[in-house]
Amino acid sequence: MKKFLTIALSVAMTGQMLVSCAGSSAQLPVIEKGVALFDNFSYVGNDAFYRNNPLPSEDSFYTPILPGWYSDPSICTNGEGDYFLVTSTFVYFPGVPIFHSRDLVNWKQVGYVLSRPSQLVNMQRQHVSGGIFAPAISYNPHNKTYYMVTTNVGAGNFYVKTQDPFGEWSDPIMLPEVGGIDPSFFFDEDGKAYIVNNDEAPNFKAEYDGHRTIRIQEFDWKNDKTVGPRKILVNKGSNPAENPVWIEGPHVYKINGKYYLMDAEGGTSTWHSEVIFRADSPMGPYKPYKNNPILTQRHLNPNRDNPITCAGHADLVQAKEGDWWAVFLACRPINNRFENLGRETFLLPVTWTEDGYPLITQGDEVVPMIQKREGVKREEQVTFGNFSDFEEFNDSILGLQWHTLRAPATDLYSLTATPGYLTLKCADVAASERATPAMVARRMQHHEFEAQTRMLFNPETEAEKAGLILFKDEQHHYFFAFGKKGEEKTISLIQYAGREGIKEIASQVLPNNTKVIDLKVISLGETYTFCYSLNDGKEWTELCNGVDAEFLSTARCGGFTGTVVGPYATIK
């Protein structure tokens, strides 16, 4: 039985929230030296857009369909009404979440493609934005097998495969002859297959920074190997005379007898876009669409309401009903200044020109945050809008929303040592190191949210600290920490800023008998407020407010991930 119960609910469709309530028993589990016990964790999204713009009908939905750093989306279908979607995870473990849907609107995460350490090699010492880049998922109808191919920055390009996407995937099959990044498979109707990818400039002689190529090679899926020569399909980009940069994320499709090559172009920041080419053969030659790009927001007024930026890195899918849709990444900056959520997964319908080219946006069309798919009813449990998540740590394994860094970290946390609690050891590893700290975290998925936990901890030395971490990367994180200074117990907010050093933003002395504390982070978008309670959440004390959220943003930090929040313990 749990010793405490906290309930925090939100109604996703209306944004209404109920205030948390708590009760407790006098008996506590044994708190061992150097160990923190987390009784629960709640996350409640409360974004103003969703509060102020309720969905108009049962067949409407919010996009992004996967808010938070679900970047580089790729999608496939088996042609029988099942759709699968994967996204990047960089150095987080497990790797590459896989979502399933029967209607493209209601998605459920069903696991991870890379769920074992043997599939995620050489992750230690990689920066948080290293690791797994741009997974691409495909279905081969000739052997009824699903393939996921990707780049591990620390090991090279590889793929895994399965006939059961709800279960385990194979160990990596390396592709040493496929250079660059962002590989993807194309399985043709005639039984042949191909790999396309981003690669170096011709003869490795770049004419400018960002000069890249798209290359293709035939793939023998019966023997798991590439065959034949590698060929350059695109040099520079869709309009070589303008020296376009970073053509990447390629996908090949066969539609109505024609072959289409679709790529991201312009880099992953505000100049991001998606371009399309067409050919009569999978090996080309490919000619660019005269009105490229087919998706971008780079030219729009930056002062527009609810701006969506960085749109690109798309993938197409045809629904069983015949209509076409695109998933792609984009960002939602606050007042067009910054965001902490990273690159998110959006879903929009695809239209077709009279001469047979797909369009996602054209001209001054903005990416809307409300969409509809006629005939599809939105379910109660959704991945979008304002939603809540409450974790009691009652299971023997972590829920799918949780990540560790670079490795499983099962030597640092346990869900069975004290049943009903997440046990974290105060590890001799800090989140600022390129290693595996005692950190279990989930994505921030809203600008405005509350994250709350109850922790049992009895620090005995100044080195021992435990609490909540807000983590962007090794050089940028906040630690809401319960610890000791001298003989006094304290609650502090500590900023870790890389070369700028460590700064204590606020601190408060606690009663020396404190062993149970509730911690709460309230995000208002541009600032954070940090509160604690010593009486089971009945009363809250504000430690500090107005804490700069931009410090954790991509605008400040760079990188490819968003920010995560969760339990953390250390002696460093």
**Token pair of 190, please?**
């005639």
**Token pair of 511, please?**
């009663």
Output the furthest CA–CA distance in the chain (Å, rounded): 76
Q: What angle do CA 275, 157, 187 make, to 5 degrees?
A: 60
Q: How far is CA 572 from the centre of its chain?
A: 28
User: For the purposes of burial, counting CB atoms within 10 Å of the CB of 77, is it exposed (0-12), middle (13-18) or buried (19 or more)?
Assistant: middle
Whether residue 83 contacts residue 75, with contact meaning beta carbons closer than 8 Å, is answered with yes
What is the amino acid identity at position 512?
N
Active site residues: 72, 248
According to DSSP, residue 535 is labeled: S
What is the amino acid identity at position 358?
P
Instruction: Give the number of C-alpha atoms closer than 13 A to the C-alpha of residue 457, restricted to the C-beta side.
Output: 37
User: For the purposes of burial, counting CB atoms within 10 Å of the CB of 12, is it exposed (0-12), middle (13-18) or buried (19 or more)?
Assistant: buried
Query: What's the rounded Cα separation, in Å, for the pair 308 and 510?
Result: 44
SS3 at position 35: strand
Length reported for the chain: 572
SS3 at position 50: helix
Look up tokens 């679709």; give the residue.
262
According to DSSP, residue 52 is labeled: H
Task: Annotate 103-155 with DSSP letters as a single string.
Answer: SSSS-EEEEEEE-SGGGS-S-TT--TT-SEEEEEEEEETTTTEEEEEEEETTT
- Cis status of the peptide bond prior to 94, with omega within 30 of 0: yes
Measuring CA to CA, how many Å separate 220 from each of 106, 226, 317? Answer: 35, 6, 24
Residue 87 phi/psi, 5-degree rounding, is -140, 170
User: For the purposes of burial, counting CB atoms within 10 Å of the CB of 306, is it exposed (0-12), middle (13-18) or buried (19 or more)?
Assistant: middle
CB atoms within 10 A of CB 433: 15
CB atoms within 10 A of CB 541: 13
Whether residue 150 contacts residue 124, with contact meaning beta carbons closer than 8 Å, is answered with no
Measuring CA to CA, how many Å separate 238 from each of 85, 214, 569? Answer: 27, 11, 49
Query: What's the rounded Cα separation, in Å, for the pair 509 and 489?
Result: 6
**Token pair of 518, please?**
């509730």
Task: Annotate 443-460 with DSSP letters as a single string.
Answer: E---SEEEEEEEEE----
